[in-house]
Amino acid sequence: MTLASLTHSLSSADVLTPATLELAAGPLTITTTDATTQTVERGWEFVTHCLDDKRPVYGSTTGFGPLVVFSGRDDPEDQCDNALQHLTAGQGPDLPPEVVRATILVRIWSLSRGLSGVSPGALAGLREMLATSFTPAVPSLGSVGASGDLVPLAHVVQSLRGVGFAYWEGVRMPAREALAKAGLSPLRVGGRDALSLVNGTSLTTAAAGLAVASMLRSNEIALALSALLTDLLGAAPAFLSPSLLRAFGHPETVQAGERLSYWLTDTRPSGTRALQEPYSVRCAPQLLGAARSAIGWADQTVRRDLAAVSDNPLFFPGEDHVAHGGNFFGQPAAFAGDVLSMAATQTGNLAERQIDLLVDPHRNAGLPAMLAARAGEQHAVQGLQVVATSLVAAMRRACTPASMQSLPTNLHNQDVVPFGTQAALTALDQARSLRLLHGCLGVTLRQAAHLKPDGPTAPHCAELLADLAEVVAPIERDRPLDADIRAAADVLDRHVTARFPELERRPDDDA
């Protein structure tokens, strides 16, 4: 059963985390506290009061971007239409539905702070949508991550209005048709609704958050697979000496060593290995500890974004203040996305080298080349290794930082931009490639264990192998392995999550 097939619930009092963003993949019921309702109504009433007083409010009484020097349209609904129509220009393949739905969840939480002046009705429309499987079709190209994710979010709102396309139960169709199937009325926007809905970095934050959630699991999976590799090789865990790792000076490396030691509890080394293992075994705690540190920093950054308001202007009724500024500038998540991509790629390098170690008869503790019991008549994981090499090469090519690729646009109104959306979406792609690399390594380790009758000696490693063996049969005769790789990746996610509940997707995570 996939997460998209389940129904979950959240309260507006809950704290959003990267893990809880994954809950939006399927129907998600959001209950609203009285405090949230009152806050949103107060903000909306204040905006209405400001407009009635003829105060200058960007995007409500003015044009957009560099056209701020001109007056906007007089009718509020017409002005909202004006904002959305010119931004509906995105290109490229649609974003994955789970990313779009997580984006809408992030936007709901930001708007629920009451500082954007959105109407209660528009916010309710977003909540009602998430409770169904309706998902706007949103092109992947168009945002520079400044002034918010304007173009993608415009496609979200347009779809909810019945313009463009949407997905209903996974099928792409005209948005108006999908709304009818979902039992939803087309969204009506007025006042400042249109700009409130599009003028934030919600796609950037959602994609970065989903990447963090995936990478946290993958870091634990990398430790588990490294331990299973160590065990199957018969290597001594001397490289995990607590004194040694403490001397390295990085707490995350010590923690990685402790995790590896957990997986290797009661391992029985063969005594036939060289004094020092290759770096793909011996330096695993240093590499994966550093990756965990990088993911931790990105996690903290995303959590701050999830608790923030990314919009312009903001409205503070208690101060009778309309503040114009740049909270829609997604630089923090841009840096976080690039860091995640680097951590994912180096972790992927480790997995690919560990596969190479396992298929090399000169280094793999006497196992046959390519783990093929009848070499030549059988090729076992030979094709799988080529796939792993291809994945790593693609990850390296995609690892060019986006967060400093600034290009001026919008008549130099947006004269410096962070490209946070591209950084975050790339990080999410990298995280997904890493999952597949770990699936490749999981299949390879399962085949290595099949050819080694005594199997792993550490109980935790044996349990991990048993779970893999349930979905990946031994390669006695060459067969397609594409589905096995994906199945192994799924099993690895479930296995580490069962042992470390902090990796679970839960609505009650602490910040």
What lies within 8 Å, CB to CB, of 434 at 6+ separation is: 214, 215, 218, 344, 347, 348, 351, 395
Question: CA angle, 33 as apex, 323 and 178 as ends, to 5°?
Answer: 85
Query: Treating both helix axes as pointing N-terminal to C-terminal, what angle do 76-87 and 150-160 enclose, rounded to 10 degrees?
Result: 120
**Phi, psi at 509, each rounded to 5°:** -60, 145
Which residue among the candidates 58, 167, 262, 279 is catalytic per the annotation?
58
Convert 129-147 into a string of H (helix), E (strand) and C (coil): HHCCCCEECCEEECCCCCC
Helix (H) or strand (E) holding 92, with range, is strand 91-94
C-beta of residue 246 within 8 angstroms of C-beta of residue 444: no
Question: CA angle, 341 as apex, 492 and 465 as ends, to 5°?
Answer: 15
| Omega before residue 313 within 30° of 0, cis | yes
What is the Cα Rg of the chain in Å? 25
Amino acid at 199: N
Q: Which two structure tokens, joined as six digits, stand for 498?
A: 């069962």
Helix (H) or strand (E) holding 352, with range, is helix 331-359
- Cα dihedral 436→441→445→450 (10° resolution): 50
Is 58 known to be catalytic?
A: yes
User: What is the sign of the dihedral through the CA atoms of 157, 160, 165 and 169?
Assistant: positive
Q: Which two structure tokens, joined as six digits, stand for 190?
A: 């007025």
Distance, in Å, from the CA atom of 208 to the CA atom of 201, rounded to the nearest integer, reads 11
What lies within 8 Å, CB to CB, of 245 at 6+ separation is: 253, 254, 256, 257, 285
Distance, in Å, from the CA atom of 416 to the CA atom of 418, rounded to the nearest integer, reads 7
The DSSP call for residue 412 is T
Burial class (CB within 10 angstroms; exposed 0-12, middle 13-18, buried 19+) of 476: exposed
The DSSP call for residue 362 is T
> Which residues is 165 bridged to in the sheet?
174
Tokens 């893990």 sit on residue: 19
User: Catalytic residue positions?
Assistant: 58
